[in-house]
């Protein structure tokens, strides 16, 4: 594989417990980044000191100090990620370094040693691959579990963009579920997207549980309204959550969606994205109804 430059951005909010493990896994990568830009989102738990020592130790690590703010995995998170990615690109340009790939790694992850080496090899094998991610493993009841998901949908906190794709998509969208919207924008611009189950990151907690499962799934409901999901698709998703453990996540999801409907909240101001979701979900709903018609 040809040598290709990549950088990493990581938003950090009160991750003093998880940062040392993430740092060890980044520093120990078989293929190293040219830059690691960390946005410290007003941490109050000792993360500041860990990041200060890290920045002093490695010249390729830069830390942005943000003001103290409430944890928000919606628009606030998206703004931080978008600003950090664009800041990293400017830093590389100012230093005269050609950058080929941009990566987003959340601060509660621990990467396997050849995480980036494997991910980069997939990009080099497929020139049309625009966004790719690894897959999440988390420990639940002392059992390591691979988080399920479609292989064509890269996840948020373990992802990488080809720089051309990132720029054509106009950055990281300011949206609920910004990673999912980013996948759609890449697809609409003619790029392929992929999640690889042999490129692994261990997550310290289940996805959507940073502030508790209830809030995480309530926000999922708000997000699906914001992105204008097809109502029948929402109902099918609600039923799926109601049959999943812990069972209350279905109620949380329904609460978030219904509250958004009743309050007539705004929807994403990207007609092409809303159209994509509506058409895709209509296809899925029609497919399942056609299967049931056969019985």
Cβ-proximal residues to 259 (8 Å cutoff; 6+ apart), any chain:
221, 222
The verdict on 281 and 146 lying in the same domain is: no
Q: How confident is the model at residue 207 (pLDDT cuts 50, 70, 90)?
A: low
- Alpha-carbon gap, residue 216 to 200, rounded angstroms: 23
Q: How confident is the model at residue 293 (pLDDT cuts 50, 70, 90)?
A: low
- DSSP-derived letter for residue 68 is P
Q: Is residue 57 situated within a structural domain?
A: yes
15 cis-preceded (ω within 30 degrees of 0): no
Residue 289 CA: distances (Å) to CA of 275, 281, 283, 285, 292: 21, 12, 10, 6, 5
The verdict on 173 and 28 lying in the same domain is: yes
Number of domains in the chain: 2
The verdict on 89 and 170 lying in the same domain is: yes
- Alpha-carbon gap, residue 244 to 248, rounded angstroms: 9
Q: What is the CATH number of the domain that holds 173?
A: 3.90.550.10
The verdict on 122 and 20 lying in the same domain is: yes
Residue 236 CA: distances (Å) to CA of 94, 146, 221, 230, 251: 49, 23, 13, 10, 13
At 116-142, the pLDDT tens digits run 999 999 999 999 999 999 999 987 556
Structure tokens at 142: 């002392």
Q: Is residue 111 situated within a structural domain?
A: yes
Of 203, 223, 249, the residue that ends a domain is: 203
Number of alpha carbons in the 13 Å side-chain half-sphere of residue 49: 5
> Between these two residues, 282 and 65, which has the higher pLDDT value?
65
Q: Is residue 72 situated within a structural domain?
A: yes
The verdict on 24 and 147 lying in the same domain is: yes
The verdict on 132 and 37 lying in the same domain is: yes
Q: Which of 13-27, 31-45, 137-151 has the lowest mean pLDDT?
A: 137-151
The verdict on 81 and 102 lying in the same domain is: yes
- Alpha-carbon gap, residue 212 to 241, rounded angstroms: 16
pLDDT on residue 234? 95
Range of the domain at 272: 213-292
Provide the whole-model pTM.
0.89
Tell me the pLDDT of the chain averaged across its residues: 91
At 208-234, the pLDDT tens digits run 555 688 999 999 999 999 999 999 999
Of 178, 203, 228, the residue that ends a domain is: 203
The verdict on 243 and 178 lying in the same domain is: no
Q: Is residue 115 situated within a structural domain?
A: yes
Q: Is residue 160 situated within a structural domain?
A: yes
The verdict on 136 and 52 lying in the same domain is: yes
Q: Is residue 167 situated within a structural domain?
A: yes
Whether the predicted pLDDT of 7 surpasses 60:
yes
Query: Would you call 203 helix, strand, or coil by DSSP?
Result: strand
Q: How confident is the model at residue 92 (pLDDT cuts 50, 70, 90)?
A: very high
Residues in the chain: 295
The verdict on 169 and 227 lying in the same domain is: no
The verdict on 89 and 198 lying in the same domain is: yes
Q: Is residue 1 situated within a structural domain?
A: no
pLDDT on residue 212? 82
Q: Is residue 208 situated within a structural domain?
A: no
Residue with tokens 């929402």: 234
Of 176, 203, 230, the residue that ends a domain is: 203
The verdict on 124 and 250 lying in the same domain is: no
pLDDT on residue 131? 98
């Amino acid at each position: 594989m040809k040598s290709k430059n990549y950088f990493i951005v990581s938003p950090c909010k009160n991750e003093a417990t998880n940062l040392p493990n993430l740092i060890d896994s980044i520093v120990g990568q078989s293929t190293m980044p040219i830059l690691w830009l960390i946005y410290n989102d007003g941490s109050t738990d000792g993360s500041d000191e860990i990041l200060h020592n890290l920045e002093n130790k490695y010249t390729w690590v830069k830390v942005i100090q943000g003001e103290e703010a409430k944890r928000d995995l919606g628009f606030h998170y998206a703004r931080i990620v978008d600003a950090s990615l664009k800041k990293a690109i400017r830093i590389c340009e100012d230093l005269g370094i050609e950058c080929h790939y941009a990566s987003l790694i959340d601060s509660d992850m621990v990467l396997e040693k050849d995480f980036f080496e494997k991910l980069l090899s997939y990009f080099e094998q497929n020139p049309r691959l625009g966004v790719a991610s690894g897959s999440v493993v988390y420990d639940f009841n002392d059992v390591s579990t691979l988080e399920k998901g479609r292989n064509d949908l890269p996840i948020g906190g373990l992802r990488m963009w080809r720089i051309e794709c990132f720029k054509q998509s106009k950055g990281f969208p300011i949206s609920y579920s910004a990673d999912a919207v980013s996948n759609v924008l890449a697809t609409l611009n003619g790029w392929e997207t992929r999640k690889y189950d042999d490129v692994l990151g261990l997550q310290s907690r289940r996805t959507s549980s940073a502030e508790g499962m209830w809030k995480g799934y309530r926000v999922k409901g708000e997000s699906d309204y914001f992105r204008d999901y097809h109502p029948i698709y929402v109902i099918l998703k609600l039923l799926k959550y109601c049959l999943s453990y812990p069972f209350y996540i279905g109620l949380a999801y329904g609460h978030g969606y219904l509250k958004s409907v009743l309050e007539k909240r705004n929807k994403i101001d990207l007609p092409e994205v809303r159209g994509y979701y509506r058409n895709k979900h209509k296809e899925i709903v029609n497919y399942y109804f056609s299967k049931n018609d056969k019985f």
